[in-house]
Structure 1
Amino acid sequence: MSSSSEPKAPSLKPWLRLRRGLEHDFGVVKVREDKVVDPRTQQEHPRVRMDCADWVNVIAVTKQDALVMVRQFRFGIDASTLELPGGCVEPGEAPEVAAARELEEETGYRAGRLESLGAVHPNPAFQSNQSHVFLALDCERVSDGHQDDGEDIAVELHPRADVPRLILEGHITHSLAVVAFFMEQLRADARR
């Protein structure tokens, strides 16, 4: 028996792509349907793939221990959501640079310190990108922000201690925001 506490991953064969489908470019995402072969059964299956830029999400905390959050309309659910500031990593841009840029563009706040909490795959079943999570501390408002065309964002401040309640009561429902707060908690627990 191994002395490592990590479970041994089973060895899986890759699914080979037989045919690459026609790509549809929607600006923020490229979508295509490929034909792949199951390595276990050798049967062909269609699989959708969505190629997106990497994303950043920022847990922004002011010197007064308030969270800087954003509320914006989301077309997938036809409703507004309470979320973390964030957005796309531009081509050639480092994730930490994107995090600082998106925070300031969306909220007008600038971080005194920026710390990476890690990255997750939003949905590896069909998405290729990662979402990078950052903790921005000692944030101060430096402008009114510079929202992109197509953005209509309201900035809200919430007490940091309210995060569990905001999640459990369904005020924060965006899964990547919930994951970001979980990653922050895991990092804090590991430091103790």
Structure 2
Amino acid sequence: MIKKYSVAIYPSQEVIDSVKTMKEYLKSKMGWYNSCNSTAHITICEFSMTEAEVAKIKTKLFKVCDGLTPFQIDLDHFDSYANGAFFIAPTPDSKEKLKPVMRKTQEALRLSNLKKSNDPHISIGRKLTPENLKIASQLFTTIDIDFLCDAIVLRELDPIKKQFFVIDTFSFNGNSQPELVQGSLF
């Protein structure tokens, strides 16, 4: 059976709780909206495959993360996209640290049906109407949060709840990958 999966970065529990509070407050002002119940995360990519194929993905994710070193992420402003997404955005410096992690992960998976994210952010709401985007931007004007980015998670979509849940976590171990060097025997 084909299932939908997502690879993401989860912030600290403190940030997850803070974003949950924001989402609940926004929901109290405008009712249910897309992603109001999702756990705070930075999406790297999404894809579909059978459960049997996921073992290979886990191996690839472990290899990518084994060579990564934990780093600090700072998120300092709210922003939105024309498609109705309202989100918390990282500082330019943090964005530049996140992009190579996202790119390496996406490249390692080598999937034809990979839906890539290339602009790191934590969504507060998706598919909001222009009126609801205005409400969100008036309710949330300043933010300054940070967390240690030290792992990525593999999530599976629960088709009934329509929410992703974590099935595996891959820690950044800081192990440098040896470079293959052409040598001479004589």
TM (normalized to structure 1)? 0.25
Pick 1 or 2: higher relative contact order, CA cutoff 8 A, min separation 6.
Answer: 2
Larger relative strand fraction: 1
TM (normalized to structure 2)? 0.25
